[in-house]
Chain A
Amino acid sequence: MNNGIRKIALIMVFSFVFLSLGLVYWQVVKADEMLDNPANRRAVYLEERITRGGIFDRNGVVLAKTEQTADGKVRTYPQGEMFEPLLGYATVKYGSAGLEATEAETLLGMKNPSILRRIQNAFELQRTGNDLILTLDSRLQETAYQSLQGKTGAVVAIDPQNGDVLALVSQPSYDAGAIEQDWDKIIAEEDSPLVNHAFSLFPPGSIMKVITSAAIFQAGLDTTELYDCEGSTVINGQTIQEQNDKAHGWVNYDLALAYSCNTYFAQYGIKAGVNHFLEAVSNFGFGRDIPFDQYVPISSITRDDPLPENLSLNLFAESTFGQGQVMVSPFHMALITAGVANDGKIMVPHLIDSVLDSKQNSIYRRTPEVWLTPLSKEEAEKITSGMVLAVNKGTASPGAISGAQIAAKTGSAEPGGDGDTHAWYIAFAPAENPEIAVAVLVEHGGTGGGAAAPIAKAVIEKALELKEGEN
């Protein structure tokens, strides 16, 4: 009989041990996943008890904060529409979006709390989350916002040397403070204000030539060789046309980039070969996830495959100057520009400068690191000289500013279907020692030089002025 009892006792102990493994599974292994489950309202209810941390720009300007009023907590956005939809919103009724959503755990102080923090959490019912300090500069943001207002599109400004996002504007935008009242109006609006256009994909048009340049250099082609542009050329039965069928005459690489010569880049791109082209786009981050705090869709070369093994000749020819099926986000384009500016090294982009806990102790600080190195220093300098020529003699001249040399490239991308072309402008300045890289997209804005260049110009002027003020 005692033998039977021992066996049953063993079964019981084993079952209890198995049960505790179940607890390990839920409380350790699956804990994060369960918190993210849409049916789990835990985060929302916890939030009601926690005062959400504030969001500040790099100079301490308040972008979002929670105020205690007689009726409870209210989340306010003192800068109005300027930082939307990047900042997003946080409401009980409609959930949250933007930074407010992606950084919710940090703002609520629930992400990787220290041991001390955990003990505090266990005894304090009312507590305050962490503050987010962004890399954005609200003065630059304001300039970008003012310049883009009334249009649809995006402006992204990045410090090429460390990857700090200095300004990020998407239009149309909305007032996050009034989101609950305006909800129905906002979601009914055309061009969806809730969508961040800086993180949406568009055909790049001629700004793609910057990337095709890398393929041309890396294939070892002679860039001093002259090419006679006749306004159009036929490749494999497909006619490649210049904008307005303009014949550029005899051009070398620098002039071809400055004049934005489609046929040159198609011919020389094909000469470089599809393998060099696909390697170059991959090195620039096509088909890759961008390491960033916000979700940015993967830029792609074809509709079916972001980074295909091969391309048909016709599609390849179109892709060299950013048509065909190439899609890229303004944010990624700003990174590419910053890479050219930073001697061919693309830095990991940062939007969050640091995180401070409720006692203002720093619990996170970003560190600059290289993401990709698509170009050598010499190759980057070659592209820079072409972009400088584009500003001084070519299509990018509307972006020129006095007092500093800028390097830029325009793009006017066929959106597919009717409507004006998307206007692109990528630029950095000063060309010899870049401090800011900008990508501007105006949807259906017409030409890059006409619609996008003035916006980039205003942002760069403001950035250089602020830099001068600091020194």
Chain B
Amino acid sequence: MTSGKAGQGPVTAPDHASTGATMPGAERAMFGAAGAFLLTAGLRSGSPFQKLLIGGLGAGLTALAVRGRSPLATALKIQQDGDGHVLVSEAVTIGKSADGLYAVWRKLENLPSLMKHLERVEVLDERRSRWTVKAPAGYSGGEVSWEAELTADEPGRRIAWQSLPGAQVENSGEVLFRAAPGDRGTEVAVHLNYRPLGGSVGAVVARIAGQEPSQQLRDDLMRFKREQELGYHPTTEGQSSGRASRGGKA
């Protein structure tokens, strides 16, 4: 995982610069085969309507395979590199000092209270930890876990990690803390890079099921902000409404 130093380089996360939602080779081949099949079937069809519809669909899939971009992943703005890694970035400004926020984050075992999808983080030693998350929709086993090691730890500035070989979900990431202009506190930026279970199709399924990390990350950062600024989370859960009244019309 690369990272520009604060105040240098392009504004977008460097990993995103040359990537879109590129399909890995196997998926590309799959789209190509399906496209060729439909194109052939369409052209052989007797009905002009089917010829147009099926042939058109086949031509579309073939074109996608040639261009090498996953249509759904592109539509859903899933960023992927050529190796099939999904890239996720989010940032939030929090009205607290960088040192304080870094200290909260650095206690890795506390992260599950900030990040809802994290089941637990067990600190194994100074550098190594074991991460467990709820498995995405459709993935049997209920949990996914891996061991990670810190690759950078700069107090008040940056924490970076990388999964160890053999991880179920190969991933790396970093969190950056940077003073916001004026007296606005600290900009907290998180960059994640992971290989999704089930490839880009898996990433699309997870996104549609609402379990995709870019959504989770945004929610987690807002939760972190509210935890730090308010000390609690605003809610409407449990409030009265006509839905709870079960037809008690006045």
The reply to whether chain A is a binding partner of chain B is no
Chain B contacts to A: CB under 8 angstroms = none
